[in-house]
Structure 1
């Protein structure tokens, strides 16, 4: 009898434990369906703000269905019902009339509901492919470091920015024209400073209007000093003419135009030719209104040929050591007629010269740019340079006879390491057949450097045959 009682007691304990475990189960989560936003808006072509098909992000833990309060036929939903969280694609027809809207009800099998409004802009609304007012609060911040871009528009999703000698800055904020945003603008801080934005998706359109605000700190605005270019590949650039008054203050510019069929994206380049003299703001690319001429891209009618001016490897330098720093070779205190090169305090290593002494200012001057012929061109110069030991880290390129470099007769280069080759480049603007360039120390004492592989060339444009 004792054994039977013990068994029954054990069974009762087991059942009690099982019941207690069942009572510890969490309650089932209530059914729900959510869509995040109360309103979803498409433009008149049925596209979302980023230029893609409109999507509704549904969050739910149960079955749901979408009901329309009225029978609208200007959009379709896929799927129209589902289980759990998923994305609903909304395909919307183009709207040639007034703004329209529809109410959608997301309802669960348990009766929970979420109402949203689906809205589409009317035919009178202008579509923006790209717009940026460049935000606020920057102070002379280089484009490469600026993170306050404020781009929007149906073609702006993959738009990028590039620039040399251009800064985002909130000084002299834009004003005085419709849509002037104030805040930051783009400052062209050096001669021949470039600001490029692009990769703007065109969504199959061909008629556009480009608008922007611009100003100058000079007495009058000169479009020749502030130029606009278009490109379809960020390689070839077509100059674009525009009209603007000569007033110095802020003013809006509008350029209506057509593009040839089949162009998928557009790049826009702004060139400021006078250091610190021009500012840019509120760049917008919008759909056109039927005005403007068709752009003829230069690469469709011309071809480019790179013309060498000189390519000096200094093979005529014969010295005892080809390494850096190496021992000095023959003392060519005065150099004359070595492939047209001349100089002072030049020493030969094997395959490259050293310029200057510990107490003497040296220089090396190129031959004249005879290949330029009877015209003025922009010549690109590249060269290898190294500072000897721990000498002065700067050297300069000087333009002689005609032309300039960044609006001046000389440009200083700072070399970041001693006894190691670094490559530098610049553009000599307005070079002629008389132009020569000189590589020179800046001071006489302790400013020795090495030069090698000096190349100069310009691009010649020819009509396609």
Structure 2
């Protein structure tokens, strides 16, 4: 019996040893059994009150024989667990606050020294969450792209999917498809790479059109990947600021409602891509949804992996315009938010509520170098692009409001009347000429500190004070003149840019500058979609001020004598003349010049040749020189000659609204801006009209005639019956255009000559006996309203 018991003990020990050996191959812990992990339940559902929904519970059970760790994914900080790590089996309580419409995932893992052995996921839903349906998804595809990169409206490699994606199209401005920058691979779940949407120079936006929705799809979730990267000195700034990429929703692609979103911390490490999320609920179901991404920082933002799905809902979005506010109640808005609304069509800032914001006035009224009726504002202490804006209209002219640079103001934009518009790249808030669309109140003062930028960023920083370092003018000259605008070309860092001075800019008139390298300041601005710099006062251009003798201008700037010759006096405007004197050169033969102080008199003897005699008068002051073209006309075989633009010619033109006019006939090139009606009632005619606002299509409409070989004697314009009483025409200098805000009275004063005024429909306008004006070319502008030109006849003498 003892031997039998001994054998049983011996075999038992052997079995334990073998079992232990095999278990040791499974894990490097001291456990003596294989690892396991079970979690139950794997779905928890909560209501908006933060309590478990019917049939659900507020906890889950972990059953395991190892150490475990629980992680709430995607920074869902609204989920709180009673324990986040432990040893062996446990029950984990889940707590969430009220009024959360979202989904979250909790991942439970067991690991050893090698890595994760097993994992389970618990899905947590809060609020009205149903099964998730992907309505729309876009990964931007993987088609190879290269410079010049395709813009979003021409790219053909899109990879859209989802139950509502069939009719989706894309549009945008300055948004292209590229495969540049750090790829987003592995940055977040579903990161696709390599192609992304890249936002270039401002204004830049990407628009997704016509995502189909059903009536039941009102609780929605939008996610997308995004990155920000710009080089600052020798380092890159990769911190993603949600204010630099705005998102808006629309039911029709015209009226937009901003959408706020959150981001995870993906920008804290490579590849610096964030996953952005917006949970929202449509107040009213729509059949189609439009999504618009607008960049407020140029050439630094990338977008990818856009997904719209059903979700728990969240922020209520009213695509019909939102709720009616209490009477007198205004809602705050920011300058970046206003800039995000900009389109080429005038769009109400808010149709149902007044909006207000605070900002700092940037106009130097005393310096005078700003366009009339422009109130330029910037966010106080802002250093990022997109924080400047212009209010346009006679109602906000800063001189009338007693405002100046550094005044802090509160601006109230009245509902339905204040409108945003992108006018040739310039971001404006404006309103009707006779409407009270804004109220501007001074509430204090603030310091203005310019932001140092590179010249290629001027458009991005429009309306903001900036400094460009190490700038150099192409040539020296005069900052501003009384008779015309002045655009000076500078270069910095290999980029050319324009420094603009309006005519009669008080601080700059007849002030000279020299070629040197230095820092230049002013307001960043946009003209015809190109950035430019507008200095406010002489302090902004102090590095370039000159004390050298300079010829500022000559009046007139050219002259044509008749064949019989004659005398003409030229007035020379100078700066820093000191004891220096004017000298002349360049004339000979039948032409000569004399100097008396700042007056130069040119004498022309008769021209006995068969051709015009053309010479160039050079007027010098020290190292400054200006050229004046002088012509003595050839004798004419007949006294008068005509050029015409006939009704028959107009009848063969293509109908069109106000646009650039360019027409060649036997007499040369007719140019300008007008509307054309070649057929129909009262046709044919060219339509020109005066309008002081650059936002109007008729602004600066006119007809410039071809240059004639002689002196203009007479202008005759016949008109269609559309031309009513109290209209007239003006003869202005060739190439002249008036500035934004110019009045009809100011244009009349600038004009060289004025015709008779009509007393009935369809009358003929005549400007006669203008030989003394010495004009060989001119532009015809309208007076008193619209003029419908049926024909033009110009009589001149050779």
Normalised to the residue count of structure 1, the TM-score between the two structures is 0.45
Select the structure of larger CA radius of gyration.
2
